[in-house]
Each structure stands twice: as structure tokens, then as C-alpha cells.
């Protein structure tokens, strides 16, 4: 089946937002965990004009507590934001090539919005790598795009999609799916539904789907499409394909694939890693989304135990309640927090 069509940056009239000096809007990468976001991030970071650090964790948490820092026109309050970034144990700010003192100074010199402070921190990382443009990668950006585009209205979002059966098998293998296949399937569905909603909202120069299977089968062609979308010099593709030689690449068991050239060996590993019941469960609950993105169900007739379907619904219901609770908080904050959040370092409002 033909895949759900994506915005194509190579179509006539597509606006690529790079400039003669290689700079451009922020590049944001997201998708379901274990969908290939780390692979694509490593490739993007290997382009000579773009710095995308290995998974930081402070953009969305800061956005959710933006009303606790007061008026950012006050330098002391901008300092508070930067100090939270460098002191919070979960922020992973050490993945930026910058000292805490440099990050604080960047915040103090930035325009008085949260988006500007964050942009200044990532831009500092890019400059310290000798690059003019910055990006950030985190799978959960896929279901937090309201925060991303409030902070960075001109951001270009690259959404990575992979077969849900492969995502679930990979999450189970590395121990990232605390609720088993049921939890992994819910995450895949949530990432897909959220990204599709934003795809319909955004102009084509701000959204691109990248399919993991296409990326590993024909990386040069897919990276050419990504570079065209982002306005990156295609001469950098050769460097992108050498991502595995980057001394700053992530290490450890979950990222062992990043230490070697791109390969298709993981495309179908789920077939031996998932049980027939696992596959049947995934295909029953997200079969519609699978077909929409070109992933054909196996048609297995293995019955799914009622207990497992109940477990999936329980997980989906619990996470839906969490989302609704956060949405209510955001609605209240829209009334009480009147200050702008958008990055103004690129002329945003």
C-alpha cells in the first residue's frame, strides 16, 4: 500500500529556509521511541552546518513551568531559567558543548522570552562546534509539538516513522517499555496521531515525514530529501553518511547501531522477537494507522487474550487522562500567563 503522503520539499514552490551562511530555523526531530530518531539525529549532526546534540531533556519541562520564572525582561529571572537548566539533574545539559557559565551568560544576553533563552543555549552549542545552525532531537517532541511551535514558531519538524511492530520489539529488547508491548503500542499510536494532526496544520516547509525503512534502504536519497527540506547544502550528505565515526556519538547498548554504517539488518528483526499474540495485538489496535503509513498487517489469526486488550485500553486511558490534565493546566496558563514565549533571536514575535 502507498504510504500516507508527506510534504515534499522538492516539489516546485517549496520554500527551503536556509541562507547563504548555512543558518536557518531550528530543526526538531521526534517520533516514537526506537523509531530511528537517534540514527537520523546522528546523521543530521554530522552535516557541517548543523549541530543536533544527543537528546537533551529540558525544553518541554521548562515550557510547562514557564510561569514560575516571572518577567524575563528582568535579567535575574533569565538567570533563574539558565540556572534551572544547568542544575536540574534530569536536564542533560551536559550534552551541550558549553560550560554552565557559558549557558548562563547566553541566557542573560538573549531576548526576554523562554524560546529565546532556549535558542541561545542551543545556538551556543552549535557555535562551539563551529556550525551556524542548531537542532534538538527527542522522541517525545512528537506529542509535545504545541510547546515546540509556541517556543519556536518557524521550526522545521522532521517526524520519524517506523513499523510499530519493530518499535515495540526494540523497546522490549532494550527495556524501554515498562508496560510491555501494550505500552509500546500506545506510545506509537500517540506519536502518530499527534504528528498527523500537526502535519495538517503546518505549511509544507515546516513538516516532513521520514520513514526508517526508506532511510536504511536508501540513505543517500532520503538524506537528499531531508537536506532539500531543511535547506542544507547537499554537499554535506557524504559527511552525514559517516555519522558512525563521530567521537561524540551516543554509546551503550540502546545505541550500538550508531557505531556502524547504516544497515537494514534491524528492519525485520521483530518477526523473531515478537510472539504471534504480540503481533496480533499490535495489528488489532493500530491496524488503521499502520495501513495509512504503508505497513501491511500480517493477517495473523492468533487470538488476542481479553486480558491483554484490557491492559492496552487501561494504559491508553491512563495516558489520555494525563494528557487531558496537562491540557487543562495549559488552558488556565493561557489566561494567567500573558507574556510571549516565542524565540525572538530570529525576529520571531
**Under-50 pLDDT residues of the chain:** 1-2, 5-20, 348-349
Taking CA atoms, 339 is separated from 1, 69, 73, 102, 332, in Å, by 47, 11, 10, 26, 14
Q: pTM for the complete prediction?
A: 0.92
Edge to edge, the sheet with strand 27-31 lists 50-51, 133-137, 27-31, 156-161, 207-211
pLDDT in tens, 162-181: 999 999 999 998 877 677 99
Report the pLDDT value the prediction gives residue 20, as an integer from 0 to 100. Answer: 44
Report the pLDDT value the prediction gives residue 265, as an integer from 0 to 100. Answer: 87
Report the pLDDT value the prediction gives residue 347, as an integer from 0 to 100. Answer: 59
Q: Over the Cα atoms of the chain, what is R_g?
A: 20
Taking CA atoms, 107 is separated from 47, 76, 208, in Å, by 26, 10, 30
Q: Which of 80, 86, 55 is nearest to 66 (CA)?
A: 80
Report the pLDDT value the prediction gives residue 202, as an integer from 0 to 100. Answer: 97
Amino acid at each position: 500500500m502507498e504510504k500516507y503522503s508527506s510534504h515534499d520539499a522538492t516539489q516546485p514552490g517549496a520554500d527551503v529556509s536556509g541562507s547563504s551562511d548555512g543558518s536557518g530555523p531550528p530543526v526538531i526531530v521526534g517520533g516514537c521511541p526506537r523509531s530511528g530518531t537517534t540514527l537520523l539525529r546522528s546523521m543530521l549532526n554530522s552535516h557541517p552546518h548543523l549541530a543536533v546534540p544527543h537528546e537533551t531533556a529540558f525544553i518541554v519541562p521548562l515550557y510547562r513551568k514557564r510561569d514560575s520564572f516571572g518577567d524575563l525582561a528582568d535579567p535575574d529571572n533569565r538567570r533563574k531559567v539558565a540556572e534551572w537548566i544547568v542544575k536540574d539533574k534530569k536536564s542533560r545539559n551536559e550534552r551541550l558543548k558549553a560550560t554552565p557559565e557559558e549557558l548562563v551568560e547566553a541566557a542573560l544576553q538573549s531576548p526576554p522570552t523562554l524560546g529565546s533563552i532556549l535558542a541561545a543555549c542551543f545556538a551556543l552549542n552549535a557555535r562551539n562546534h563551529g556550525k551556524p545552525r542548531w537542532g534538538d532531537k527527542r522522541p517525545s517532541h512528537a506529542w509535545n509539538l504545541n510547546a515546540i511551535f509556541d517556543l519556536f514558531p518557524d521550526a522545521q519538524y522532521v517526524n520519524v516513522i517506523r513499523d510499530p511492530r519493530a518499535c515495540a520489539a526494540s523497546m522490549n529488547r532494550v527495556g524501554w517499555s515498562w508496560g510491555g508491548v501494550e505500552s509500546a503500542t500506545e506510545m506509537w499510536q500517540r506519536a502518530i496521531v499527534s504528528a498527523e494532526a500537526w502535519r495538517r496544520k503546518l505549511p509544507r516547509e515546516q513538516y516532513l515525514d521520514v520513514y526508517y525503512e526508506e532511510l536504511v534502504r536508501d540513505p543517500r536519497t532520503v538524506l537528499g530529501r531531508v537536506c532539500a527540506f531543511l535547506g542544507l547544502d547537499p554537499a554535506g550528505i557524504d559527511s552525514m553518511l559517516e555519522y558512525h565515526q563521530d567521537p561524540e556519538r551516543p554509546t551503550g547498548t540502546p545505541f550500538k547501531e550508531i557505531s556502524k554504517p547504516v544497515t537494514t539488518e534491524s528492519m525485520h528483526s521483530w518477526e523473531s522477537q515478537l510472539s504471534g499474540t504480540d503481533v496480533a495485538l499490535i495489528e488489532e489496535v493500530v491496524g488503521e494507522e499502520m495501513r495509512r503509513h504503508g505497513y501491511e498487517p500480517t493477517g495473523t489469526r492468533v487470538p488476542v487474550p481479553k486480558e491483554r486488550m484490557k491492559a492496552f485500553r487501561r494504559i491508553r486511558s491512563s495516558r489520555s487522562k494525563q494528557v487531558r490534565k496537562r491540557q487543562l493546566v495549559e488552558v488556565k496558563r493561557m489566561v494567567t500567563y500573558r507574556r510571549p514565549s516565542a524565540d525572538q533571536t530570529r525576529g520571531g514575535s
